[in-house]
Chains A and B, each alone.
Chain A
Amino acid sequence: QQPVQSPQAVILREGEDAVINCSSSKALYSVHWYRQKHGEAPVFLMILLKGGEQKGHEKISASFNEKKQQSSLYLTASQLSYSGTYFCGTEIGGNTGFQKLVFGTGTRLLVSP
Chain B
Amino acid sequence: DTEVTQTPKHLVMGMTNKKSLKCEQHMGHRAMYWYKQKAKKPPELMFVYSYEKLSINESVPSRFSPECPNSSLLNLHLHALQPEDSALYLCASSLGQAEYFGPGTRLTVL
Contacts and interface: CB of A to CB of B under 8 A. Distances in A.
Contacts of A41: 90, 101-104
Given A101-B45, A102-B45, A103-B42, A44 B55 contact: no
Interface residues of B, number: 20
B43 interface: yes
Nearest to B44: A103
A44 B99 contact: yes
**Interface residue tally on A, bucketed by range:** 20 to 34
Contacts of A2: 42
A42 B90 contact: yes
Contacts, number: 46
Nearest to A108: B40
Interface in A28-71: 30, 32, 40-44, 47
A44 to B, nearest CB: 4
A94 B59 CA distance: 12
A42 to B, nearest CB: 5
Interface of B: 40-45, 48, 50, 55-56, 58, 90, 97-104
Interface of A: 2, 30, 32, 40-44, 47, 87, 94, 96, 98, 100-106
The 7 closest A-B pairs by CB, nearest first: A103-B42, A41-B101, A98-B55, A44-B98, A94-B56, A42-B101, A41-B103
